[in-house]
């Protein structure tokens, strides 16, 4: 048995799970939020015992140290010393074209992660910070990087390259990279187990504040909605998704926006927030049910965009065996699932509305009798996927 500490380091938060492998037992989990502020808060859970407390987490080093002290606490701890942690698995969002698999971290790996700061400015800098802090705090534990982009390195060039001069692909590495790969890989593996068919055609729909959809054929990513950076594709909480490039030039050249203002607009003030004034889908659904036409239109637009991608991916895979809904919205919103699956009979997608309304944290099938396509709600578990990949690497 080996203890794997999973770290997901954000700009002002640090999420963690301590997972014993290969039993996959979650020994402890939690997070520190509002790092750098006066009212930083630590949440720690072990079995049925949950603790929340205000701490002075001036930076990520202090936050991780506080987590470690809880892990070794005489009353609520689960380990006696830091050396009981065999490895620390780090989620890193952007690995560019340098990393196609999980890797042991060294100075060269850290330099590459730094090179991709400009491609994922909200994610890669705090990801690297988490690595550097963990190296100092756990000097005897192996440090491992698991990249969100790695699962999508199997996407063929004809799908990954943009129709701009070749030099931008060959010299500047401008291409589709894809994101949420750890989640898509985890749920597609679960779907393959459910189908009992490794040679299956699956569409995985990850719907949260960030959203993406992936065509998975024979267990490998074939195409994906997010591209060079995580802003295009589906309509998201605050991100626009697909937009005509001419709109960007018009905003700058005719309406006087700066490029940074346009970037902020498309990343932080668009999507469901821009359409409705709300970024939380639960509020949008409540407003729509109460007659708010803008909210209902936003839901319709959201589902319409997903349906377009389903149609495209059915075409490139020449068929479909299973449709997966995952992540916060995908797992919990029967409204979105219903809108997406409505009038999809031509593709053999038929939803059972009663099954769709059932709430459960386990994998469940919600297709109607006679549906040619399996419709699955699969709770994602990126931390477990990172633990599995880390354990496989160090074993």
Numbered residues of the known binding site for Mg(2+): 8, 382
- The CA–CA distances, whole Å, from 230 to 176, 223, 352 equal 10, 14, 32
Catalytic residues: 148
Structure-block tokens of residue 53: 């407390």
Q: What CA–CA distance (Å, rounded) separates 320 from 203?
A: 8
CA-wise closest residue to 160 among 214, 117, 87: 214
Cβ(357)–Cβ(334) under 8 Å? Answer: yes
Which residues are CB-contacts of 253 (< 8 A; sequence separation ≥ 6)? none
Handedness of CA 173, 176, 177, 179 (dihedral sign): positive
Structure-block tokens of residue 59: 């930076």
Q: What CA–CA distance (Å, rounded) separates 47 from 311?
A: 43
In degrees rounded to 5, what are phi and psi of residue 363? -60, 135
Q: What CA–CA distance (Å, rounded) separates 213 from 226?
A: 8
9 DSSP β-pair partners: 14
Element housing 330 (H / E): helix 327-332
Q: What CA–CA distance (Å, rounded) separates 250 from 245?
A: 9
Structure-block tokens of residue 94: 């952007």
């Amino acid at each position: 048995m080996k203890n794997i500490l999973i770290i997901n380091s954000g700009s002002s938060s640090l999420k963690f799970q301590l997972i014993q492998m290969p039993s996959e037992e979650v020994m402890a989990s939690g997070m520190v939020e509002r790092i750098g502020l006066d009212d930083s808060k630590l949440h720690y859970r072990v079995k049925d015992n949950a603790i929340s407390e205000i701490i002075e987490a001036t930076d990520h080093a202090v936050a991780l140290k506080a987590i470690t002290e809880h892990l070794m606490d005489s009353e609520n701890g689960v380990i006696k010393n830091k050396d009981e942690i065999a490895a620390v698995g780090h989620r890193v969002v952007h690995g560019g074209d340098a990393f196609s698999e999980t890797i042991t971290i060294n100075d060269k790996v850290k330099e590459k992660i730094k090179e991709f700061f400009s491609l994922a400015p909200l994610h890669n800098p705090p990801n690297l910070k988490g690595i550097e802090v963990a190296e100092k705090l756990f000097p005897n534990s192996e440090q491992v990087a698991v990249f969100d982009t790695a699962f999508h390195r199997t996407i063929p060039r004809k799908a990954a390259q943009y129709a701009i001069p070749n030099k931008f692909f060959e010299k500047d590495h401008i291409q589709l990279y894809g994101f949420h790969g750890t989640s898509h890989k985890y749920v597609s593996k679960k779907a393959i187990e459910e189908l009992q068919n490794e040679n299956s055609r699956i569409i995985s729909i990850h719907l949260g504040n960030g959203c993406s959809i992936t065509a998975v054929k024979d267990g490998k990513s074939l195409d994906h909605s997010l591209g060079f950076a995580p802003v295009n594709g589906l309509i998201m909480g605050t991100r626009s998704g697909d937009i005509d490039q001419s709109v960007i030039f018009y905003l700058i050249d005719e309406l006087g926006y700066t490029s940074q203002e346009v970037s902020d607009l498309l990343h932080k003030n668009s999507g469901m927030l821009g359409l409705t004034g709300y970024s939380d889908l639960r509020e949008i659904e409540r407003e729509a049910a109460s007659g708010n036409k803008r909210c209902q239109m936003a839901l319709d637009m959201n589902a319409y965009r997903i349906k377009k991608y389903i149609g495209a991916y059915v075409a490139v895979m020449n068929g479909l065996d299973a449709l997966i809904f995952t992540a916060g919205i995908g797992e919990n919103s029967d409204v979105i699932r219903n809108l997406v699956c409505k009038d999809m009979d031509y593709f053999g997608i038929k939803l059972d509305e009663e099954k769709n309304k059932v709430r459960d944290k386990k994998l469940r099938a919600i297709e109607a009798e006679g549906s040619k396509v399996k419709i699955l709600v699969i709770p994602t578990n990126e931390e477990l996927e990172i633990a599995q990949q880390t354990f496989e690497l160090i074993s």
